[in-house]
Amino acid sequence: MIRIVTDSTCDLLQSEQAQLGVDVLPLTLNFAGHIYKDGIDLTHAQFYEKLAKSSKLPTTSQINPGEFAQYFEKCVAAGDEVVGIFLSGELSGTYQSAMIAANEVSPDRIFPVDSRCTTFAMGLLVREAVRMRDSGQYRGAEIAKAIALLAKRVRLFAVIDTLKYLKMGGRLDAKTAFVGELLGVKPVIAVTDGKVEVIGKTRGETGYGKALLKQFQLSKPDYHYGVAFGHANAPEKLKNCMTFFAPHLQPTQIYSGNVGSAIGTHTGPGVVGMAYISSLPTQL
């Protein structure tokens, strides 16, 4: 049997986790000394409620090698292979922890993959790994190799609704944040080579759809893998964004989901974004 495992930053709903038959290991969140298991002790709605009331950003702790080793040992003892798809190594040490544990436990049966992305973009890679597993045509190493290649083609774009949390996290000075909020500036971000970058800006409540479409048109998706939309506690904005995009999409599987703590801690609520596997072979 081949097990597919990921971490909680993939932001898959528990119902879909069960449907796909994937294991999800949680990162931990520290809110003013209170520790929570990401996606288990806090729902997405509860996370954003606490974030809005907090005067200090929570911190996120990676899954350590010992936790991975414990999980991997159980899988190997059951005779399973493991394909792990984890949060970008540029954003967390979780993937590195998985590599350390895999090499200690059974490197010929455990195959960690750096997703080079996070949140609902990661979900696309997990779903493809599940499809390959369920086809019964591939070994664990083959699935991991294919997913690692796809990870290089992942596109994730999003528009941030407020500058408050970038200022709280020290990524934006107070003066710039104040002026930006006054002018209604909303940064456009992308995950590029595993790192989050600001690639542009837009204004107003209706600008985010056009900003995302501009990036989308630079690199069209491979529709075989579907297109994912995500939001940070902003379901109405997500609905509007998906309606805006509908005429620009070819028939394909459309996914929608929430943005959890991995990105949400730094962006705050109100984010709307999209992700897909580019039809181009390499990152722009």
CATH number for the domain spanning 262: value is 3.30.1180.10
Query: In terms of domains, do 137 and 271 share one?
Result: no
Query: In terms of domains, do 214 and 86 share one?
Result: no
Sign (positive or negative) of CA dihedral 160, 175, 193, 284: positive
Nearest to 258, CA basis, from 32, 66, 8, 78: 8
Does residue 282 fall inside a structural domain? no
Q: How many domains does the chain have?
A: 2
CA–CA dist 35, 37 (Å, integer): 7
Residue-number span of the structural domain to which 233 is assigned: 154-277
Helices 207-218 and 235-245: crossing angle, nearest 10°? 50
Does residue 42 fall inside a structural domain? no
Burial classification of residue 64, based on how many CB atoms lie within 10 Å of its CB (0-12 exposed, 13-18 middle, 19 or more buried): middle
Query: In terms of domains, do 67 and 145 share one?
Result: yes
The model's pLDDT over 116-175, given as tens digits with 9 standing for 90+, comes to: 999 999 999 999 999 999 999 999 999 999 999 999 999 999 998 877 776 665 555 554
Query: In terms of domains, do 146 and 166 share one?
Result: no
Query: In terms of domains, do 145 and 158 share one?
Result: no
Give the H/E segment covering residue 53.
helix 44-53
Query: In terms of domains, do 110 and 7 share one?
Result: yes
The model's pLDDT over 36-95, given as tens digits with 9 standing for 90+, comes to: 998 888 888 889 988 988 888 888 899 999 999 999 999 999 999 999 999 999 989 999
Q: Which amino acid is at 88?
A: S
What CATH number corresponds to the domain at position 93? 3.40.50.10440
Sign (positive or negative) of CA dihedral 173, 174, 178, 184: positive
Query: In terms of domains, do 178 and 125 share one?
Result: no
Query: In terms of domains, do 9 and 114 share one?
Result: yes
